């Protein structure tokens, strides 16, 4: 919790653990030193959930910790102005970054696979298992069959028609 001047006036054990500061060190610290991007709320505003970075002060090297913050303004309890509920989101952010990295790798592998399939000297196609319609045709097939891919994909039963032997009855 902080006062009208932005000075921390109350901090629990979790806040101390999160900031790695003792309660005495936290008291009096500017809330805006801890959260430089914390929006200033007028009294009476509803709680504001937001993801911010907590600046861990008084460290040799400045560290920033991703956190979720819900700020609640306080009226009628001078000198308090607001308090915040803070959750360490570093595990969530790390997981999101890992997922983004995996998706980037999957997209790269998909692009490489598509390049291999498109340039293989074979006709390679995929039929939709539910409809039996053509859902993929490689570029080599486009060159051999002399039909643009988009037209082949739009044409119903394209593979059956392309594969039909005109001499058979």
- What's the chain's Rg over C-alpha atoms? 30
What pLDDT does 37 receive?
A: 86
What pLDDT does 81 receive?
A: 79
Number of helices and strands (H, E) in the chain? 7, 6
Query: Are 31 and 47 contacting, i.e. CB atoms less than 8 angstroms apart?
Result: no
What pLDDT does 94 receive?
A: 92
Eight-class DSSP state of 1: -
In the predicted model, residues of the chain with pLDDT beneath 70 are 40-49, 163-169
What pLDDT does 144 receive?
A: 87
What pLDDT does 62 receive?
A: 77
User: What's the Cα-to-Cα distance from 19 to each of 12, 80, 91, rounded to whole Å?
Assistant: 11, 21, 16
Is cis: bond before 78, omega within 30 of 0? no
- Spatial CB neighbours of 137, under 8 Å, sequence gap ≥ 6: 123, 124, 125, 149, 152, 153, 158
Q: What tokens appear for 116 in the block?
A: 């291999």
Eight-class DSSP state of 7: B
- C-alpha 52 chain-centroid distance: 15
What pLDDT does 157 receive?
A: 83
């Amino acid at each position: 919790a902080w006062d009208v001047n932005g000075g921390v006036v109350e901090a629990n054990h979790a806040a101390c653990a999160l900031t790695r500061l003792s309660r005495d060190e936290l008291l009096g610290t500017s809330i805006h030193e801890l959260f430089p991007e914390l929006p200033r709320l007028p009294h009476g505003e509803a709680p504001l959930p937001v993801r911010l970075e907590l600046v861990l002060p008084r460290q040799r090297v400045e560290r920033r910790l991703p956190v979720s913050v819900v700020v609640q303004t306080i009226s009628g309890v001078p000198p308090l102005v607001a308090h915040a509920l803070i959750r360490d989101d570093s595990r969530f952010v790390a997981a999101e970054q890992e997922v983004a990295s995996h998706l980037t790798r999957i997209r790269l592998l998909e692009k490489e696979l598509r390049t291999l399939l498109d340039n293989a000297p074979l006709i390679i196609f995929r039929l939709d298992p539910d409809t039996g319609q053509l859902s993929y045709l490689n570029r080599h097939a486009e060159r051999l069959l002399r039909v643009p891919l988009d037209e082949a994909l739009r044409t119903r039963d394209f593979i059956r028609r392309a594969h039909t032997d005109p001499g058979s009855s």
